[in-house]
């Protein structure tokens, strides 16, 4: 009746970056739950840990590690680092059944105008199948 899970998201520096209780009734009503959050880049790595903790059932917890995809470059001192491999999967991609294809870091002349538009405005090219576009957190659905 009043069962809920606690969603706890932590970064590689062992800091909690998000903590929220989600009622089962919310999940049953909408079919999914999406929350877009901004996460400050950790010093150790770009990994984040997502944990769902049941309020009643011991041992019915879900833990998953992901590598965050940041929109800005990583800076250390006066040096700027860029990540060449942008194939990261977020929890939003998992909830909608199929991961989006991300644009590559380099822009070459062989690209279509649509791919360049995605890169220019920060939207990701996405070919997932959402059940409800209004509650989806993907940039392409907004």
Q: Is residue 48 within 8 Å of 27, Cβ to Cβ?
A: no
| pLDDT higher than threshold 90 for residue 65 | yes
CA distance 88 to 142: 20
Mean pLDDT, the chain, integer: 68
Residue 71 has pLDDT above 70, yes or no: yes
Q: What is the pLDDT of residue 50?
A: 92
- The rounded percent of the chain whose pLDDT value lies above 90 is 18
Burial of residue 78, with CB atoms counted within 10 A of its CB: 0-12 exposed, 13-18 middle, 19 or more buried: exposed
**pLDDT tens digits for range 77-96:** 544 444 443 333 333 444 44
Q: Is the pLDDT of residue 107 over 50?
A: no
Q: What's the pTM value of the predicted model, to 2 decimals?
A: 0.50
| Domain boundaries of the chain, sorted by first residue | 4-133
* Three-state secondary structure call for residue 63: strand
Least confident residue range of 58-62, 74-78, 107-111 = 107-111
With pLDDT > 70 as the criterion, what percentage of the chain qualifies? 51
**How far apart are the two ends of the chain, measured CA to CA in Å?**
33
Higher pLDDT, 100 or 77: 77
Question: In the numeric block, which tokens belong to residue 89?
Answer: 């999967």
Is 126 a residue whose pLDDT tops 80?
A: no
């Amino acid at each position: 009746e009043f069962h809920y899970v606690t969603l706890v998201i932590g970064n590689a520096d062992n800091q909690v970056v998000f903590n929220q209780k989600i009622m089962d009734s919310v999940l049953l009503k909408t079919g999914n739950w999406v929350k877009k959050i901004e996460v400050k880049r950790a010093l150790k790595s770009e990994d984040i840990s997502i944990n769902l903790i049941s309020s009643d059932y011991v041992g019915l917890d879900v833990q998953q590690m992901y590598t965050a995809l940041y929109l800005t470059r990583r800076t250390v001192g006066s040096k700027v680092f860029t990540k060449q491999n942008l194939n990261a999967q977020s929890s939003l991609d998992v909830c909608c059944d199929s991961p989006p294809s991300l644009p590559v870091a380099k822009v070459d002349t062989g690209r279509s105008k649509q791919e360049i538009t995605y890169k220019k405005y920060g939207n990701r090219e996405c070919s997932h199948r959402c059940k409800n576009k209004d509650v989806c957190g993907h940039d392409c659905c907004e």
